[in-house]
């Protein structure tokens, strides 16, 4: 598959998950009972797959792209930094969800802030990449650059969107199908 199309496709998947997560947070905000297990699965997938495979590949692409497009240096540096912020925010939200599922009672505002931070950073991050980075990467990166991106991170199967989902993500996949 064309690497830019693959990159964009993953962003589409991630946006679907962020939308599902936002709907659960909206329920929580209205005082209704969200599906904490579903929320945990969303964060689990995004942390397991995106933080381990997608973002490291992007970091390699960013390093290659900045050599060809020095005018993007600041944008790409910020996006790379956001990878770390997203990972940190995701871990904080995952900790809170684990605590809630373990029976802890947390102040409503703590979970809302953690979820909002994650959702806003991640959504804006994807939008910036789609608008500013993917078109330039499509034009500027060479087949050798894309090969470096492909081989620079050990491949890992996509446990949700890569064919049959792993057992732990079956309910999440069902929810995605219901949303479509």
| pLDDT digit string, tens, across residues 46-78 | 998 998 999 999 999 999 999 999 999 999 999
Give Cβ neighbours of residue 121 (< 8 Å, ≥ 6 apart).
82, 85, 86, 89
Architecture of the domain spanning 3-179: Up-down Bundle (1.20)
Positive or negative, the CA dihedral 49, 7, 116, 32 is negative
Does residue 27 carry a pLDDT above 80? Answer: yes
Does residue 28 carry a pLDDT above 70? Answer: yes
pLDDT for residue 176 = 87
Pairwise CA distance, residues 160 & 13, whole Å: 10
- Output the CA–CA distances (angstroms, integers) from residue 46 to 29, 32, 63, 141, in the order listed: 22, 24, 23, 26
> What is the H or E stretch that residue 167 is in?
none
Pairwise CA distance, residues 93 & 52, whole Å: 17
pLDDT for residue 155 = 83
pLDDT for residue 108 = 86
pLDDT for residue 180 = 66
DSSP 8-state assignment for residue 71: G
Average pLDDT over residues 30-45: 94
Pairwise CA distance, residues 95 & 93, whole Å: 5
Pairwise CA distance, residues 4 & 48, whole Å: 21
| pLDDT digit string, tens, across residues 115-172 | 999 999 999 999 999 999 999 999 999 999 999 999 999 888 889 988 777 888 888 8
Number of CB atoms found within 10 A of residue 55's CB: 21
Its pTM surpasses 0.85: yes
pLDDT band at 81 (very low <50, low <70, confident <90, very high): very high
Pairwise CA distance, residues 121 & 116, whole Å: 8
| pLDDT digit string, tens, across residues 7-21 | 999 999 999 999 999
Give Cβ neighbours of residue 170 (< 8 Å, ≥ 6 apart).
none
Average pLDDT over residues 97-122: 94
């Amino acid at each position: 598959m064309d690497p830019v199309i693959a990159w964009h496709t993953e962003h589409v998947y991630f946006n679907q998950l962020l939308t599902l997560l936002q709907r659960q947070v909206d329920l929580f905000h209205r005082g209704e009972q969200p599906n904490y297990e579903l929320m945990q699965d969303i964060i689990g997938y995004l942390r397991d797959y995106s933080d381990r495979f997608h973002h490291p590949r992007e970091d390699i692409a960013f390093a290659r792209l900045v050599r060809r497009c020095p005018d993007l240096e600041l944008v790409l540096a910020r996006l790379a930094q956001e990878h770390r912020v997203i990972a940190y925010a995701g871990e904080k939200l995952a900790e809170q969800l684990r605590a809630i599922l373990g029976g802890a009672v947390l102040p409503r505002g703590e979970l809302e802030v953690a979820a909002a931070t994650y959702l806003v950073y991640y959504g804006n991050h994807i939008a910036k990449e789609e608008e500013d980075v993917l078109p330039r990467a499509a034009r500027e990166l060479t087949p050798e650059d894309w090969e470096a991106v492909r081989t620079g991170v050990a491949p890992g199967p996509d446990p949700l969107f890569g064919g049959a989902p792993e057992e732990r993500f079956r309910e999440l996949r069902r929810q995605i199908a219901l949303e479509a």
